Chain A
């Protein structure tokens, strides 16, 4: 749609792939762990951008799909000895099916009501699973180490998880880009502005919502596979949900690069805050302050600000 002179997507994917390969090349485990987290955040932020940035629907409780994907996959691995890759996909599908089922009714709601409903859904899921014995109830589920033998040991499993997370992040970013450049994406943006054009808005919104639920589910499966333990509070952590919103806003909603920049920045900042002992206690306070500053003064996010300030970049940065 928007004529892009430079091949944005390939360039972006190459950059991300190179970054991903870095810790493997230098055999640095802690860097790999950090990047694992960052690619996960990129996935979450980009997914939320698909529903929020393009359609304008603020899914506050989006993390519910992360948790559902995690739980379904974990259950399959735990009880059916499913291979991780199979379990992840097999777990993401019911998670997205649930997105379809709840998406239809709640996407009829507007603005604040929709946001509240998504919080309600996440919390309902969390408290329900808290009581659900097959999923371990309040205690959750955990692997015994022998599970990792199929993959050649815990270290190999961690590497596998890392690789998968990178692939999932790249897939999310690619999907986000394709949507933005497509007729479908255009229709989402038209819906956001309430234009009545010849597409069924209800259908388009639900499709966007389902797509945006798939990748967090995969990310959840991967995250909990690597951790070897899953519990309701961690799986359905509302704070993490809001963090992905923050990252999206920080970098710039409605753009492809925005969530990536936001995720990277946020994670760097958090890492910095945790490791500086004096600031550790104030981590939350500073996070809040940063968010407030961004919300008040840099409303279009960093990428958005860049595009506005230097219009020539518009063609190069999506």
Chain B
């Protein structure tokens, strides 16, 4: 078990964004984190990588408690995050951007070594031909790949991927999913926040579902997708959920 999230609650004033969320992540698996908008998924990521301090609860990574650690401390321990809203260093080249990730990840690499890692990562993400292009000139899909590359260059043990598939066309999505599968083969654990259901079904080993900050379901993609509570969370109306499930089967 590489990550244990134990009754984590995050509050913003009166708003409870995460309500006693509890789940575990096995090493080497791809865990999907889904739920309607506003369910608290990104907030949960923020709690894990130290952006927000949980009001209560514990987060244990590789048997070490990391609750409340600052983001750079969490990053140093091998947790990398690919953000939903990508903000590359626009004036720097693509390879420079990825090198940033390589320099300051788990290992404290020299610039030269980091650049080598960056080159490998770019190759694996099919961005090698754009290595010297200023990051600001990429299109959205390429920027998202760059963001993933930045996170991967840190050689993380755990990758938090926040909606990295959003805005990609089907081919790009398949390509990214292939990247995730290869990560799994290399033993990297991935938690992915996604709205693309077929991607989740396709690549995730297990799925955790959040709604209004609470975990409402957990299990294999098949089990979770036919769980009435989950369908209701997305559709809002229990009767519609019922009808939908009946029609599906």
Contacts and interface: CB of A to CB of B under 8 A. Distances in A.
- Establish whether A and B are touching in the complex (CB under 8 Å): yes
Interface of A: 1-2, 182-183, 186-187, 189-190, 192-201, 254, 311
Given A2-B96, A186-B99, A190-B100, A197 B105 contact: yes
Interface residues of B, number: 32
A63 to B, nearest CB: 27
B146 to A, nearest CB: 12
B138 interface: no
Contacts of A193: 87-89
Interface centre among B51, B72, B104, B111, by most chain A C-beta atoms within 10 angstroms, is B72
B91 A186 contact: no
Nearest to A186: B100
14 contacts: A1-B96, A2-B93, A182-B111, A183-B110, A183-B111, A189-B89, A190-B104, A193-B88, A196-B50, A196-B72, A197-B105, A198-B104, A200-B70, A311-B134
Contacts of A197: 72, 75, 100-101, 103-105, 154
Given A196-B75, A197-B75, A197-B154, A183 B51 contact: no
Interface centre among A1, A186, A195, by most chain B C-beta atoms within 10 angstroms, is A195
B160 to A, nearest CB: 11
B49 interface: yes
Contact of B103 (A183, A192, A201, A311): A183
Nearest to A200: B72
A192 B104 CA distance: 15
Given A2-B93, A196-B51, A196-B71, A187 B103 contact: yes
A183 B109 CA distance: 9
B18 to A, nearest CB: 19
A196 B49 contact: yes
B67 to A, nearest CB: 16
Contacts of A196: 49-51, 71-72, 74-75, 81
